[in-house]
Amino acid sequence: MTVYNPKEIEKQVLEAWEKKKIPEQIVKFSKEKKKFYLLDGPPYVNAEPHVGHVKTTTFKDIWGKFKHMQGYAVWFQPGFDCGGLPIENMVEKKLGLKSKTEIEKIGVDKFIGECNNFAIGNEKTWLDIYRILGAWRGWLKPYLTSENYYIESGWWTVKKIYEKGLLVEGEKPGFWCSHCETVLAGYEVTDSYKNIEDHSIFVKFPLAGKKEFLLVWTTTPWTLPANVAICVHPEEQYVKAEVKKENKKETEVLILAEKRLKLLDELGTKYKILEKFQGKKLEGEKYLPILDIPLQKEIEKNENSHTIIISIPLLKKRVASKIATKKAAEAEEEFGHVVEMETGSGLVHVAPGHGDVDNKLGKHYNLPEPSPVDEKGRLTEETGEFAGKYVKDANFAIIDYLNTKGHMFYPGKVVHSYPLCWRCKTPLIYRMSKQWFLKIDTLKKSMIKENEKVRWLPEFARERFYNILIDAPDWPITRQRYWGIPIPIWVCDKCGARKVIGSVEELKKEALDKIPANMDLHKNSIDKIHIRCECGGKMKRVRDIMDVWFDSSISPWASLGYPFKNKSLFEHLWPVDLIDESQDQVRGWFYYLMFAGFATFEHKPYNTACLNGWTLDEKGEKMSKSLGNVVWADAALKELGSDTLRLYYCYDVSPWDTQKFSLKNAKELQKTLNILWNTYQFIETYSDKKLLKSNITGLFPEDKWLLSRINTLIKKVTEDMENFAFHSVGRSLVDFILNDFSRWYVKLVRDRVSPWYDGKDKKAAQYALVYTLEKLLRLLAPIAPFISDYLYQKLGFVSVHISSWPKTEEKVINTKLEEEMEKVKILTEAMNSMRQEENIKLRWPLAAVYIQAKDKTTASAVKNLRNVIQNIGNVKKITTTLPEKGKTKIKIKEFEGFKLGLGKVLKEEAFIREVIRQIQVMRKEHRLHVKELITLWLHTDEKTKALLMKRTNELKSEVGAKTIHFTSKNIKGKIELEGKTIEVGFEKAEK
């Protein structure tokens, strides 16, 4: 291969890996070496991998490759999340099932069997991508959260936390999906707010013993049966406003916030203000219920109820993190008074059984928490005439009722942000339900302390995590569903005793029913097993499964089957050394890992946690299937190849910043790899890999400079790698390849490594080239595993990936020299720009250049790197004093650090240079190898011939001619230059 062909390289490297069993050697875990437990946050197995997923995989793989090269035994195992509602949802769709009742009808056995079919086998899609990407995890058997060993490990965990008193049963309010008939955890809700149209009604509650009405606003009429209090803002001004009733004859008095009077204006209601007062004056006033139903009568009995309460500042809502990104803002948290002045009437209906904020208020004021809604979202018996109605229908029935009874002031509509079930899109309701909870209160303080010991990359994530911990509620850990880890708790029919089972062995001992060998541990089989109770009764399993977050939260040990399998391995690996996932996992996996890990082992489960930014489309829009703007993993890999894609992730933005993914920009980076490829071709042609093992002396300043540069680069890249500054690594490497190695050093030493040159300094340049290339490839290996390995193998090694991470040779680093070379770059750039202004081609040699240094570094650069300046600048001489004013036409220009003037062009030499260049082009066209000598025939007029003859030696060595004849033979082309014509002929010289 002479041209860079990424596809071919990747194919050949994969074949070489297979042949030499390289990945197998690397993923084989050895207890002899220092361990590095890299835990894979399991992606959801049925997801289709897109470039966001590949980014996470790439970063994790870079960590693994880097640590492996540093000498660690890295635990690379991948994992997949196979449980939970998304799979149930797909199965429901496939089987055309619309509710839990219908699932029960076709049978839980069949349903779970289908779920299993959906979950298993999809991991192959992912593993294929991992391999194409060159990620080592692709060569291991993954852990699947739906397998028996995983479930059994989950049972062991449940028993452990139960025995510590952390797992309790209780009634708690929470978001509930009436279609899925299950509670949802906070995390599942924060990301699923959507704008929907809802009711927005203003209702009149009569004040007890007065002919005045509280104008109260609500967007959920179905929660009015559970009204317990009305809330006002303590400091805001409220008014009593006299308004005409609908019949236009009588008047009535309404109480509302002064700032909300515009509501009356908007409705065209004329009013007269009778009185103004602060909201807190209303505190404690009693009002009368507006619905004549049993529940309201019951609530009436509580002395705290049906009273006006004062609003308190609360954490009201977390703006969904994904939505926040769309708005190009960080996730926000909204603190504030429950009562706002932007909407409504300034008086808020409070139903502590039906809302998060309401519930906090209810707790604060010690109010009852009625929640008269069943699991299907229907109002219950206590709501009298509304009983049995689904909440949406109850809205209309209640509005009708209020209209008829004269309690309605205005029934309107509003579009607002409301949480929907992330899986079935049903608007969620807030209700009380019986759940098992993992209690946080006794753990919180210690978890916050543990967080201090975690290394967060970037550091700002620590505070984000802290804010989540400080506000974290108990974890409702059960779901009323089918496909997941069954909670291993059995309850006695007769005496209510409970038993928690921590292993299959234990279940076998306690079971009344026979347990078949290799029984699948999912709900359908387990529910058939009964346990004997000490009272003689029969114990039945609690029908719930665990929240799917529980599955992934126990992955540090469940992935190994601990404690039933790999016991000593887990003890060796624990705790996890590093996790690296997308930033939404701070509230997701990172949080649940900490919760479950700490609850189980009283220790932080991970040492380092890295956060990746979002991957959006080119325009900064969230990628979504419905918008059709998703860049799928296989498409990107096909278009770019793995090396370029990986390099792009490590170049474009920092790992934790939002990336606007652009295939076009990524493609640009391929040019760098192409230049690396060409540099390699140059080195292969002009240098010698055997020199790697030799000790070369007589290095020129530029050689010393290159050696210093690569060692400085090793230092910087290593530091950036450790700090997750992968973008900085990528940029440093690209910059080095382009600006130091290829476009600078290679250019500088072209003549010194020419096959026809035999100076003492030749070997030094050849050595610097291979020395640098070898180190560079090792630095590049984690990011671009294919091209680096391809070239490394060409240097005669087995594989770059089983080589070690390069160490900085401190003694070679010469910072002063590096600074001087930077000056030289600036100097020669200035010379080039002056050449351009004066229309002097770079190929034309200058007799001299005048440089007057104005600072120390420039002065020493000119002194020490004189040859480099002459070489790159194509000048014969450097004069450090400027020509006297008036005595010359030489233009002097001022730059930062120096003054510069160009001497005259050496015409004759310029002519020769051009001839040489054109002959070289002809040689190339005739596919002559650079090392092949030629016999050259030149035919031209006498004057030109005389000029050429004067320079025969230069001509010979530059174009690789053994002999030159000044006659016409074997004509290959013609050179037309400054009015002269030279016929050029050549053929391969005899050896």
β-strand partners of 409: none
Nearer to Zn ion, 490 or 792 (CB): 490
Nearer to Zn ion, 480 or 681 (CB): 480
Q: Are 233 and 279 in contact (CB under 8 A)?
A: yes
Residues within window 366-385 making contact with Zn ion, judged by CB under 5 A: none
Q: Is 625 a catalytic residue?
A: yes
Neighbour-count burial for 671-696, b at 16+ CB within 10 Å, e otherwise: ebbbbbbebbebbbebbebebeeeee
Nearer to Zn ion, 85 or 454 (CB): 85
Residue 696 in the binding site for Zn ion (CB under 5 A): no
Distance in angstroms (rounded) separating the CA atoms of residues 88 and 887: 91
Nearer to Zn ion, 99 or 658 (CB): 99
Residue 497 in the binding site for Zn ion (CB under 5 A): yes
**Per CB under 5 A, which region of 476-484, 528-536, 798-806, 953-961 contacts Zn ion?**
528-536
CA 532 vs. chain centroid, Å, equals: 50
Residue 177 CB, nearest approach to Zn ion (Å): 3
Q: Which two tokens stand for residue 692?
A: 């790697």
Distance in angstroms (rounded) separating the CA atoms of residues 726 and 656: 10
Residue 537 in the binding site for Zn ion (CB under 5 A): yes
Residue 89 CB, nearest approach to Zn ion (Å): 8
- CA atoms within a 13 Å half-sphere pointing along the CA-CB vector of 954: 15
Q: Is 585 a catalytic residue?
A: yes
| Catalytically annotated residue among 244, 259, 316, 622 | 622
Residues within window 552-611 making contact with Zn ion, judged by CB under 5 A: none
| Catalytically annotated residue among 141, 301, 327, 625 | 625
**Per CB under 5 A, which region of 235-243, 244-252, 271-279, 532-540 contacts Zn ion?**
532-540
Residues within window 170-189 making contact with Zn ion, judged by CB under 5 A: 177, 179-180
* DSSP state letters, 118-149: HHTTTHHHHHHHHHHTT-GGGGSPPEETTSHH
CA 67 vs. chain centroid, Å, equals: 20
List, in sequence order, every beta strand (DSSP E) within 910-958: 934-939
Q: Are 822 and 858 in contact (CB under 8 A)?
A: no
Q: Is 42 a catalytic residue?
A: yes
Nearer to Zn ion, 179 or 763 (CB): 179
Contact pattern from residue 381 through residue 420 relative to Zn ion, giving x for each residue in contact according to CB under 5 A and a dash for the rest: ----------------------------------------
Nearer to Zn ion, 491 or 653 (CB): 491
Nearer to Zn ion, 420 or 519 (CB): 420
Distance in angstroms (rounded) separating the CA atoms of residues 356 and 220: 14
Residue 15 CB, nearest approach to Zn ion (Å): 48
Q: Is 81 a catalytic residue?
A: yes
Distance in angstroms (rounded) separating the CA atoms of residues 762 and 756: 10
Residue 547 CB, nearest approach to Zn ion (Å): 14
Q: What is the DSSP letter of 258?
A: G
Residues within window 423-452 making contact with Zn ion, judged by CB under 5 A: 424, 426
Q: Which two tokens stand for residue 504?
A: 């299959």
* DSSP state letters, 348-398: EEE-TTS-HHHHHHHHHHT------B-TTSBB-GGGGGGTT-BHHHHHHHH
Q: Which of 129, 133, 492, 768 binds Zn ion (CB under 5 A)?
A: 492
Selection from 176, 173, 183 nearest residue 473 by Cα = 173
| Catalytically annotated residue among 589, 614, 677, 744 | 589
Residue 424 CB, nearest approach to Zn ion (Å): 3
Residue 431 CB, nearest approach to Zn ion (Å): 14
Residue 104 CB, nearest approach to Zn ion (Å): 17
Distance in angstroms (rounded) separating the CA atoms of residues 124 and 116: 15
| Catalytically annotated residue among 61, 81, 374, 720 | 81
Q: Are 489 and 498 in contact (CB under 8 A)?
A: yes
| Catalytically annotated residue among 6, 23, 42, 806 | 42
**Per CB under 5 A, which region of 271-279, 343-351, 535-543, 928-936 contacts Zn ion?**
535-543
Selection from 118, 122, 116, 125 nearest residue 94 by Cα = 118
Q: Is 941 a catalytic residue?
A: no
Distance in angstroms (rounded) separating the CA atoms of residues 156 and 562: 9
Residue 538 CB, nearest approach to Zn ion (Å): 8
Count of residues in contact with Zn ion, rule CB under 5 A:
13
Distance in angstroms (rounded) separating the CA atoms of residues 432 and 372: 9
Residue 535 in the binding site for Zn ion (CB under 5 A): yes
Q: Are 960 and 755 in contact (CB under 8 A)?
A: yes
551 residue type, one letter: D
Residue 496 CB, nearest approach to Zn ion (Å): 7
Query: With left for phi above 0 and alpha for psi between -120 and 50, is residue 656 left, alpha or beta?
Result: alpha
Residue 13 in the binding site for Zn ion (CB under 5 A): no
Nearer to Zn ion, 422 or 680 (CB): 422
Nearer to Zn ion, 86 or 903 (CB): 86
Residue 195 CB, nearest approach to Zn ion (Å): 18
Neighbours of 760 (CB within 10 A): 8
| Catalytically annotated residue among 155, 549, 705, 937 | 549
- Interface residue list for Zn ion (CB under 5 A): 177, 179-180, 421, 424, 426, 492, 494-495, 497, 533, 535, 537
Q: Annotated catalytic sites, by residue?
A: 42, 81, 549, 585, 589, 622, 625
